[in-house]
Amino acid sequence: MNITHKQRKEFLEAYNNLRTILQSIHECQDIWMSDIRKLESMEWLMRRTMKFVPHKDDEGNSMWYHDWVLEDLSVDPDGEQPDV
């Protein structure tokens, strides 16, 4: 997988936001609503860039609250078995 410079900058911004949010939680034992929005943005960035998809059951239905998996489980550049 190749990550573009733009994506690296997006991850850097997300990482710095995460550090700030965690520091605020530790100091105040509270979280701001704007921090929740930033956390959701980080989740979307990781999902979109890393191509994470919901796990599917035997009938092909998405299991939204199950651990997510890689979009294409058949392709593993290291030759390892995918985690399902």
pLDDT tens, position by position, 18-50: 999 999 999 999 888 999 999 999 999 999 999
- 5-28 vs 33-50: helix crossing angle, rounded to 10: 150
Q: Which amino acid is at 77?
A: P
Which residues on neighbouring strands pair with residue 63, listed in sequence order? 55
Domain membership of residue 79 (yes or no) is: no
This prediction has a pTM of 0.70
Count: domains in the chain:
1
Which tops the pLDDT comparison, 44 or 2?
Answer: 44
- Unique residue bearing structure tokens 């930033």: 38
What range defines the domain where residue 54 resides?
Answer: 5-70
Q: Is residue 84 part of a domain?
A: no
pLDDT for the residue numbered 57 = 93
Q: Is residue 75 part of a domain?
A: no
Instruction: Say whether pLDDT at 83 is over 60.
Output: no
Which has more confidence, 72 or 77? 72
